[in-house]
Structure 1
Amino acid sequence: MSDTADVIVIGAGPAGLATATLLAGKGVHVALVDPYRLAVAHPRATHVDDETVRIMQTLGAAHLEPEFLCHTDGGYQIYDAHHQLVRYMPWRPEPTDQGWYGDYQFFQPDFENLLRGRLHASPYFASLLGWRAVSVTQTSSGVDVAVRNERTGAERTLTARFVVGCDGARSTLRGLVSPEVEDLHGTHRSLILDIAPFTTSPAVPENDAFTKAIPPNPVTCLPIAHDMVRFEFLLNPRDATEDFEVPSRWYELLAPYYAPGDYRIARADVYRWESLLATRWRDGNVFLAGDAAHQMPPHLGQGMGSGLRDAINLSWKLAAVLDGADETLLDTYQTEREPHVRVYVHAAVGAANGIEFMSENPGELGEPPEALEAQMPVPQLGSGVHGDTEWPVGALSIQPRLLGGDRLDDVVGYAFAVVGNPTLLAGVDVATAATWQRVGATVVGETPLPLRRWLNEHRAHAVIIRPDRYVFGLAASAAELDALTARLADAVGTVDHQPAGVG
């Protein structure tokens, strides 16, 4: 096994596995370092939305979707301390413009093991699972990573052009890249109990998830994949963590929902949720992604999805720079991703703090509150490769099925896409078509009805979509598409690069 790679990824959680998979699919030599040889056997994340499943599709994991628990009715309900509904977020009952349903519960170990196996089969991948990164040192030519085998004690030093730290909420790499973090003031502790019931319970809805701000420990209950149920009990500021690590307490807390002996406990952990943003996501050739870069409470189910968005944003940029694009392209990673994830962190903090406030300040039972219906935020990227964000530029593109029945991303691959009216596409300059070839863009000269409606809404006939599926720009004429393509060449370079399929 070589001690040299193009990119070293530290951490084999979802963000790290996705980054390694996307890079290997681009023909980038990647080494993955993680102290654990096996994926964690129980789920940590459970919820994925339509955009996250679209990223899974790019990763070659779409065939897992039929095994997910798909929410097509019901929703997420939040109740106050008096059992009154105050907030309701309905599940989305039809596939969205992303080509998938809006809300699922998935089984994280299946997803992680799929990516581990796919990476093992890639000629561009080097596995250092079971090895711990003990030091990271930047040099004039790249980064040296000293690693130690957890079983044998053997030591090696790996060298790469870039390192991506995906080493989770307790990241050691974050201390090197961003010693200072921004605290968004949403720190909480929760007892997480995942159970496999042997029977049904009238107290546990089949399709709905709920949070009840009942003192002294608000409870969240939601169905998750593999016919399991997750309970999260919010500890109040006076609670001692060790009191919630005792099995007798678990049975006591679950008693309103299931009788002892009517379920198998699969997981029992007290977890401390932070709400943090690293102030720097890049230091030279070292980057942060996933929970190493941002953390949030679990109430919107956007933590893991945000890590996958980091991976799909950063990986194509690293591949482009390794192919000769200017390194300033990498500066757009944080400028684009941080404003996007900040929206989710703020929303999750607001939900978590609101639940704690209702529990700590129940007041008297008064008039029934007006239940507010809420929608999941859909933020745009910050300024970056696409320039300044102005809707729909910097927003997530749609994914229609093309005339042959394939989803758009399956035809495009992990690459730029130029999609639009075939007459307009045929009318561009020779230099424009040459640029598309040099940046590895896939050209799709058809406009199925959903795409035609979307283009009409924005008074355009063509769109350039980035590899991370966000809109680079739109054009209403061949001349505008020529100008847009010239901007693309300036932003990402015009080196020869042929996209490779992933999965």
Structure 2
Amino acid sequence: MNNNKILDVAIVGYGPVGQTLAILLGRMGYNVAVYERWQALYPLPRAVFHDHEIRRVFRMMGLENELEKVSQPSACYQWFNADWKVLVEIDWSAESISDGPFGYLFNQPSLEAILDRQAKAIGNVQVHQGWEVLGLSQNDATCELNMRKVEGDGAGETRTVQAKYVIGADGANSIVRRECGIEWHDLGFDEDWLVVDLQPNAGVELDVPDIGQWCNPARPTTMVPGGPGYRRWEFMRLPHESVEDLQSTEKVWQLLSPWVTPETASLVRHAVYKFRSRIAEHWQQGRILLAGDAAHLMPPFMGQGMCSGIRDAWNLSWRLDLVLKGICSEELLNNYTTERKPQIQAVIEASMAMGKVVCVADPQAAAERDAKFLSGQVPPLPPFPGLEQGLVFKTAKAGVSGSLGIHGAIERNDKVERFDDAFGRGFFLLSIGEDPLQSLDEKLLGELNQLGVRSVRLSKDGAPGTCRDVSGKYHQFFEENQLQAVLVRPDFYLYGGVSTHSEIPALVQSLCDEVSLKREPCAQLSQAKVAVR
């Protein structure tokens, strides 16, 4: 069968990354089709953690109420030595810059079911499950996917699909990546771990850390919630063991026996996973782009595997929107890899560093590690990496350009709500003090409007023409960094900031240049049309 209609975007892979991207693009009004090798959603848990940034993304997608039913705020993440002395504490329960705790634990099948319902409710999103990619090609205008139905009704049917862009979100064994000939770069982490998910019986209280790494050389072990009503253990394969040694149910219950038994819990699943650290050499080939595990793999010790894939989808969605609308040229897609890859590599390297602390099976090496941590010789973990390259203001103040923007409550028109709820998604020129638009000429005002940038002035007292900073977070950030204005991107990251209003024209001009804005003749617009009051 030949599908004559040219899609805006075809997505290969229907895990959380493909689902999220389909929802985002579908709600923007684009014709999207998703193709997934398997007929049904995978029913067993994999990821169990997402951070505040991803929660903010899901809130913007209108999923907050449903997510509350399948997730729980994180507790403090603790690492213990063999004697249960605390080596490291990371407070994932602390207030984050995104307005809420740093992290959440969730059940992935429940999350995917939510995303699945949302995607299939969008009329311009087609979800095709049970289809595999046979071949992939592209020209200057479109991509072509050759597909075959492998499961369900019509198995054996073939189809040719055309799309302006193809996104490979089809996991570590991505056929899209292979079809493009993109190679993996192996960063060197390779460990086998047995992952066990179970459901404690009603009323059973387990005597375990809420979230913990037991750095015991006799058996490095992870213990975390798997979302409400579930628990997960992960056990490292020891050097003298084979993968087969860990596969039997008897062995699983033996390893669990210090904490839980068949009489106190039900086994949901167990499987041996190889924790790896890999990153694709590049994430784009013409009109084909990679996202999620198709582009990068990392050990799970920071809980950033799925989070990183959702960031890819969030980043791609606004770029594709501006390109498909004809506002920006295709060059805007060219710095997707440039921007995302360094951040991902930093996350992978941090995950590997954490893994090397945990994955110590030699008692002497473990004793030396413990002594360093317990004596305070090990420096604290570095902050989560921002964006260092790509669409960031190159002359911005250090620590501002490329950092994740803060989020908090504001008061607008006598209503107090989160900033995102009040204004939605897009580019924002946030400022304090005088009206920043007064410093811009008509050309820049027109380009701001073309790009959809909205000006929001913040104040401590809700003065006329401003929004009151109820949370106080914005003013604290501005004062600590000696800022008067910042430009915020649609993915919450800061393009850059300036210390004086006289620098705002240069900041705005730089954004309009770097975003590959198509400078076609357009009507000049008044400041009132650009400003948000």
Same fold judged by TM-score > 0.5? yes
The code of the aligned residue for 1:253 comes to: L
The code of the aligned residue for 1:405 comes to: V
Alignment of 1:462-477 (within 5 A): 462-477=485-500
State the SS of the aligned residue for 1:187.
strand
Mapped to 2, the partners of 1:377 and 1:337 lie a distance apart of 17
Deviations 1:371-425 (A, max 9, x none): 3584573101131112437420111010121113221222332311222237323
The answer for the alignment partner of 2:464 in structure 1 is none
Checking the alignment, whether the CA contact within 8 Å between 2:70 and 2:106 is kept in structure 1 is: yes
The answer for the alignment partner of 2:125 in structure 1 is 125
The answer for the alignment partner of 2:448 in structure 1 is 436
The answer for the alignment partner of 1:445 in structure 2 is 457
1:204 to 184, 205, 208: 208
State the SS of the aligned residue for 1:405.
strand
For residues 323 and 2 of structure 1, do their structure 2 counterparts lie closer, same or farther at Cα, with a shift above 3 Å needed?
same
Which of 485-494 and 366-375 deviates more? 366-375
The code of the aligned residue for 1:290 comes to: G
Deviations 1:446-478 (A, max 9, x none): 341321221222222222100111001224454
Give the aligned CA root-mean-square deviation in angstroms. Answer: 2.4
Structure with more contact order per residue of length (Cα contacts < 8 Å, sep ≥ 6): 1
Checking the alignment, whether the CA contact within 8 Å between 1:3 and 1:157 is kept in structure 2 is: no
State the SS of the aligned residue for 1:183.
strand
1:413 to 424, 427, 451: 424
The code of the aligned residue for 1:284 comes to: G
Confirm or deny that 1:484 pairs with 2:507.
Answer: yes
So what's the TM-score if we normalise by structure 1?
0.91
1:330 to 323, 330, 333: 333
State the SS of the aligned residue for 1:185.
strand
Alignment of 1:81-160 (within 5 A): 81=82, 83-93=84-94, 95-150=95-150, 151=152, 152-160=155-163
Mapped to 1, the partners of 2:181 and 2:409 lie a distance apart of 42
Which of 183-192 and 456-465 deviates more? 456-465
Confirm or deny that 1:37 pairs with 2:36.
Answer: no
Q: How many residues align?
A: 491
For residues 450 and 255 of structure 1, do their structure 2 counterparts lie closer, same or farther at Cα, with a shift above 3 Å needed?
same
Deviations 1:84-131 (A, max 9, x none): 4332223333x3221121021012223222222222222331221222
Mapped to 2, the partners of 1:407 and 1:431 lie a distance apart of 32
For residues 418 and 105 of structure 1, do their structure 2 counterparts lie closer, same or farther at Cα, with a shift above 3 Å needed?
same
Checking the alignment, whether the CA contact within 8 Å between 1:196 and 1:229 is kept in structure 2 is: yes
Checking the alignment, whether the CA contact within 8 Å between 1:412 and 1:442 is kept in structure 2 is: no
Confirm or deny that 1:320 pairs with 2:322.
Answer: yes
Checking the alignment, whether the CA contact within 8 Å between 2:169 and 2:293 is kept in structure 1 is: yes
Checking the alignment, whether the CA contact within 8 Å between 1:145 and 1:158 is kept in structure 2 is: yes
| Per-residue deviation, 1:263 | 0.6
State the SS of the aligned residue for 1:8.
strand
Mapped to 2, the partners of 1:332 and 1:246 lie a distance apart of 47
Confirm or deny that 1:402 pairs with 2:403.
Answer: no
Mapped to 2, the partners of 1:53 and 1:339 lie a distance apart of 22
Stretches of structure 1 lacking an aligned partner (at least 5 in a row): 497-503
Confirm or deny that 1:179 pairs with 2:185.
Answer: no
| Per-residue deviation, 1:195 | 0.6
The answer for the alignment partner of 1:501 in structure 2 is none
| Per-residue deviation, 1:364 | 8.8
State the SS of the aligned residue for 2:390.
coil
So what's the TM-score if we normalise by structure 2?
0.86
The code of the aligned residue for 1:85 comes to: V
State the SS of the aligned residue for 2:435.
helix
Alignment of 1:280-295 (within 5 A): 280-295=282-297
Which of 137-146 and 294-303 deviates more? 137-146
Checking the alignment, whether the CA contact within 8 Å between 2:430 and 2:458 is kept in structure 1 is: yes
For residues 375 and 61 of structure 1, do their structure 2 counterparts lie closer, same or farther at Cα, with a shift above 3 Å needed?
farther
The code of the aligned residue for 2:483 comes to: A
Alignment of 1:358-377 (within 5 A): 358-362=360-364, 370-371=373-374, 374-375=380-381, 377=383
The code of the aligned residue for 2:427 comes to: F
Checking the alignment, whether the CA contact within 8 Å between 1:171 and 1:292 is kept in structure 2 is: yes
| Per-residue deviation, 1:487 | 1.9
State the SS of the aligned residue for 1:204.
coil
2:169 to 163, 166, 170: 166
Deviations 1:59-97 (A, max 9, x none): 222223433554465x2222334544332223333x322
Checking the alignment, whether the CA contact within 8 Å between 1:460 and 1:476 is kept in structure 2 is: yes
Mapped to 2, the partners of 1:350 and 1:58 lie a distance apart of 32
Deviations 1:156-212 (A, max 9, x none): 11111111111112222222335322211111111111111115355323x342333
| Per-residue deviation, 1:3 | 4.4
Checking the alignment, whether the CA contact within 8 Å between 1:195 and 1:230 is kept in structure 2 is: yes
Mapped to 2, the partners of 1:407 and 1:286 lie a distance apart of 36
- What percent of counterpart residues are identical? 28
The answer for the alignment partner of 2:527 in structure 1 is none
Mapped to 2, the partners of 1:2 and 1:213 lie a distance apart of 59
The code of the aligned residue for 1:440 comes to: G
Mapped to 2, the partners of 1:290 and 1:109 lie a distance apart of 17
Mapped to 2, the partners of 1:364 and 1:15 lie a distance apart of 37
Confirm or deny that 1:266 pairs with 2:268.
Answer: yes
| Per-residue deviation, 1:4 | 2.2
For residues 330 and 308 of structure 1, do their structure 2 counterparts lie closer, same or farther at Cα, with a shift above 3 Å needed?
same
Mapped to 2, the partners of 1:79 and 1:53 lie a distance apart of 28
The code of the aligned residue for 1:204 comes to: V
1:384 to 384, 390, 395: 390
Which of 138-147 and 188-197 deviates more? 138-147
The code of the aligned residue for 1:191 comes to: L
